Chains A and B, each alone.
Chain A
């Protein structure tokens, strides 16, 4: 076992992690740990854009952006946090440009902007051009640009170091972050990283679902680590299903396609979003569009041999516009479905995309241990965190914004805190839990396979906890997941080696996924209303009297050593927007 010592440890090298590193690296001794290589992170798969009220192509201001974010989030957004994000959005975009990001340009040479779902002028009058973009690879360009600037700044990376635990020490009876424990994939060695501050920027957990736009590696490790420490996870029932995944595959096709004028049609050719959102139609927020698509299929207007998808129609757009502004998704449709969007309709259906919930933080990116207290030295940003700027449904482009605004804040605050304190003593044997976890999996002789349990988990989640939910489906999902958790105790791996043991890696990832699936389901069961991305068929309306509050889920262990999910609630921060009915 090796021990290292840094001021700041950042877990994850996607957009949030590297944006944090750029701030932290010039203030304090910083290292970034990633289970991948930085450029493999899933920020790179984001396509359509990053919103900021630059007003480069039409009138706009950050207050309109704030309102859209809150309304889009179905009033579960903490309004102070949304104000921070939308106000700082403008500098966040300009900072990226100054770092070299090749944004598309207007004829005047300014950063170009396009329309995106739920982003409107003057509180809902019409769609507004707010999304700054680089073709349909905006996330790729953000990831590349941040990595390039990390190279420029000499940031220290530990690639393929899989963080499995956060170390908390006790100071005056309160938990304080003091480091992390990581497994080095190349050698199988365990490393302890002592740190004054720890920033989690470890991404989402889309792999609990079968049909997802998420990478194979998005397994909620950071959230899972926090959960196992007995710390809360917020609003985990709110999971976003992106309307336009390639049918059957889940590969993402950007909402920017509709921003450029694309239209959703059912099997009869009808533009069904006109019925659902008469003002902004296909550019309604994602939760509404995803539900409308599922309804079309349920009511027999789905397309294809099994009538189980709808179409994205770009055929009326000029070929040059499609190839210049949407080249990647055009290629995805051609490669994976053999469909050419220039002349053909593209089969699409909702795909699991984004966790609105996660590790609760305040606007300073400090992690909460309950409604009122933070954990000194512990920070989180990006998809693994819940500030909450996305509430019950995230607007398109606001994730790229979130990672830049709150990644930056996490980096600054983690470094400044680290500079103000000395190292806290590590507890005895800080790697004990991790060593046991790894050894247990490596030596297990049980008969269960990782791939089988993972497949069954994903199938029940798609079947029972997807776009629409009821008490019955959620109870079914819960029973299934609890059964799988019991079987997981007998999981064994074939690779007993020390080097690049991806068999072991997948087994550990599955453990985190099962934990998070359970939290999602229990949180969803108790939210007896429909709000944003959480649609209950047995409670079809939003209930502001009983449920305008954040869910805070904690891991409990009963007298028999049995784990359970215990729920508490946290008030929503309301500054200037009272909840209204959500119409578009």
Chain B
């Protein structure tokens, strides 16, 4: 170990009561969405998902939300936290202002099913429409296809996508026009359009040239801000637009 190595300091952690204001909707009971407050003791390093689990486990078993991996890789728990789309498992209490109630609501733009659960089907339907798979030319090599590290780097960013829908459901165009493909589907198309092994770019560009395609994007950057994987989504959409104008990738 060299002298320059920093041994991390361990702060003393104290649990404090935090109020979570959750947008509730139980379809069997409620006619409309309403807010409900829950107070839970939280450590600063706890995740919002920990709070939801505590509320469900100890206070109100009817609270419903999706979650799986718990560390930001499966994309199940996208929700609006303090008005911004985030993953509940990647949002720590210390990064929010916990002196006020922390608001938690379902993501917008997809049909609400129950509490924090929305119908994901329209989101995945848009993804499926852009041909999100490799379309190779007919020639299949016996070993792997060769690809330079530089060619691979061109589409690397988009491969990080976990299909959580944080981007698409933060897009004002998507909120008002449910037919718009939305940023996540365009990122998926981009990931293949710019893959040197793929030969389906023309087909995908044609799909995205549709009136519900990339031209709907108003470059508000909400999607880029919302992405929990740090993907430069707006840039990817711009690159697809440019490819459409110049018809080359």
Binding site for B on A (CB under 8 A): 36-37, 39-42, 44-45, 93-94, 97-100, 102-111, 134-135, 137, 140-141, 144, 148-149, 151-152, 186, 215-217, 251-252, 265, 269, 303-305, 311, 313, 315-316, 328, 332, 335-339, 343-347, 449-452, 493-495, 497-503
Docked CA distance A210–B74 (Å): 20
Q: A residues within 8 A CB of B156? A: 102, 135
Docked CA distance A313–B192 (Å): 36
Contact status A313-B5, CB under 8 Å: yes
Decide yes or no: A344 and B120 within 8 Å by CB, A100-B133, A109-B146 being known contacts. Answer: no
Docked CA distance A332–B71 (Å): 8
Query: What are the nearest 6 A-B pairs in CB distance?
Result: A451-B57, A100-B134, A494-B61, A109-B146, A269-B1, A148-B133
B92 interface residue (CB < 8 Å to A): yes
Contact status B8-A109, CB under 8 Å: no
* Cβ-closest chain A residue relative to B47: A336
B76 interface residue (CB < 8 Å to A): yes
Q: A97-B145, A449-B61 are in contact. List 18 more A-B contacts (CB 8 A).
A: A37-B120, A40-B68, A40-B69, A42-B68, A97-B144, A102-B155, A105-B149, A105-B152, A137-B159, A140-B73, A151-B128, A265-B1, A304-B10, A316-B2, A332-B72, A339-B8, A344-B8, A345-B8
Contact status B60-A39, CB under 8 Å: no
B65 interface residue (CB < 8 Å to A): yes
Docked CA distance A339–B72 (Å): 17
Q: B residues within 8 A CB of A137? A: 73, 159-160
User: Chain B, 43-80, contact with A by CB distance < 8 Å: what is the 0/1 string?
Assistant: 00100000001001110111011111111111110000
User: Chain B, 79-114, contact with A by CB distance < 8 Å: what is the 0/1 string?
Assistant: 000000000001010000000000000000000011
Docked CA distance A89–B174 (Å): 43
Decide yes or no: A337 and B71 within 8 Å by CB, A94-B144, A110-B146, A137-B160 being known contacts. Answer: no
* Cβ-closest chain A residue relative to B95: A335
Contact status B149-A104, CB under 8 Å: yes
Q: B residues within 8 A CB of A42? A: 68-69, 74
- Candidates A44, A328, A347; contact of B8 at CB < 8 Å: A347
B117 interface residue (CB < 8 Å to A): yes
Contact status B74-A499, CB under 8 Å: no
Contact status B113-A216, CB under 8 Å: no
B27 interface residue (CB < 8 Å to A): yes
Interface centre among A104, A149, A337, A499 (most CB of B within 10 A): A499
Decide yes or no: A216 and B68 within 8 Å by CB, A37-B124, A104-B152, A137-B160 being known contacts. Answer: yes
What are 5 of the A-B contact pairs (CB < 8 Å)? A98-B145, A110-B144, A151-B128, A495-B64, A497-B28
Q: A residues within 8 A CB of B10? A: 304-305
Docked CA distance A303–B60 (Å): 39
B162 interface residue (CB < 8 Å to A): yes
Q: B residues within 8 A CB of A339? A: 8
Contact status A44-B1, CB under 8 Å: no
Docked CA distance A213–B155 (Å): 29
Contact status B195-A503, CB under 8 Å: no
